[in-house]
Structures are given as C-alpha cells and as structure tokens.
Homo-oligomer: A and B are copies of this chain.
Amino acid sequence: MTQLQRRRIPDAAVARLPVYLQILNNLLATKVSRFSSDELAALAGVNAAKVRKDLSYLGSYGTRGVGYEVTYLIYQIKRELGLMREWNVVVVGAGNLGCALAKFGGFTPRGFPVVGICDNDPKKIGQTVGHLSVFDVCNLQKIVVELDVAIGAITTSTTSAQAAADALVDAGITSILNFAPIVLATPSSVSVRNVDLGVELQILSYYEQMRTEQHAPVG
C-alpha cells in the first residue's frame, strides 16, 4: 500500500484497532481461525455495525456466512498500526514508574523496546536500571538520533512534565506517552497519549460510591 492509497482512519477507530488486535491474538492462541463481526463485537464491547465499519477502513469486508479470517486480519491491523517494524522508546524520568517501565520486559515482544532512560537528577544519572544506564536528559537529542528513538514516555513529576515534553519535542520526537497528570502543551504535529492512573481510579470510585449508596439506609 503506497501513501497515495492510504486513507486516514478516524481517531476513534484507530483507538479500537489495538483492542481488536488483542482479541484476535487471543482467538489465534485458542486455534480459532475464522470469526464473525458479531463475535468480535461481543468480545470488544462494541456494536457489530461499528466493527464492520472499522474493519472496512483496512479494506476488510468479510464474507457472508464465512466471516473474517483471523490471521489475515491480524496482518492487516498490524500493517495499519505500523507494527511490521519496531519503534524504540525512551523514558524521561527515572523514578519508580520510569524504572518499572524500563525494566518491564513486556513492551519488547509487542514491538516497543525501551532503549534508554534519562533524568536531570545527578544522583540518578549513571545508575543502572535493568540493562540500561540512566543518561543525562541534556543528551536527549544525541541519544534520540543514535538509538533511533520514535516514542518518548514521560514519567517525571507533574512539575517537570512540561519541561520533559519540551526536551522531547526539541529532540525531534513526535509521539509522546504522558503519565503525568497534566495537559501538555505541544505543537499540533506531535501526538500525545495521556495515561493518568488517578483518572482511572476516580472513575472507579464514582461507581464504587454509587454501589455503596445503594446499600446504605435511606436518609
């Protein structure tokens, strides 16, 4: 597929493709070779019409009465998501979370090896984290080029996160995974995904409070 043929997929559909991919990999592991859009929809918690529309962006339409083929759709989604190659990740912020990400072996098999970790704290620079040595954030630009880094993960404190984002952008990085609970200011050419665990906990506490109140005596 050349760039001229490739259509831009709506953001919401892009965000569902990794979920489908995960389900398809699970199906493949259980020796399922074909599936219907209804089955995938049920597993993904999405309606079937939306699944068919999403897959149509890949050029996959299924066959009436036969459905979709698992291995071919896995190939199509991986191609579309850019998973036919690896994307190197650098972690900015060598605190607890940053070190955990650097040591976590689970990203490499999914195509996202963490190749570097940096900090601005002289006490942390030079320390060993897994198989990496913490480098000085001042050298970020050099490291990004040398190690062919595509993605930066920000695991600094909230107060340092914007400076970390600025350093990544200056180093030429255009994809940022941000764990700090702030909205980063970045050029529109940069993609930012925010992972705020506090937000997830607050959503859970909303429902937990609802349940608690349902069991409380009426006041």
Contact = CB atoms under 8 A, between A and B. Distances in A.
B104 A198 contact: no
Interface in A35-87: 43, 80-83, 87
A50 to B, nearest CB: 15
A196 interface: yes
Interface of A: 2-4, 6, 8-9, 14-15, 17-19, 21-23, 26, 43, 80-83, 87, 89, 95-97, 99-101, 103-104, 106-107, 110-112, 150-151, 174-177, 181-183, 189, 191, 193, 195-214, 216, 218-219
18 contacts: A6-B213, A9-B206, A15-B203, A18-B196, A22-B183, A22-B196, A23-B183, A80-B206, A82-B209, A87-B205, A87-B208, A96-B100, A97-B100, A97-B104, A150-B208, A177-B204, A189-B211, A195-B195
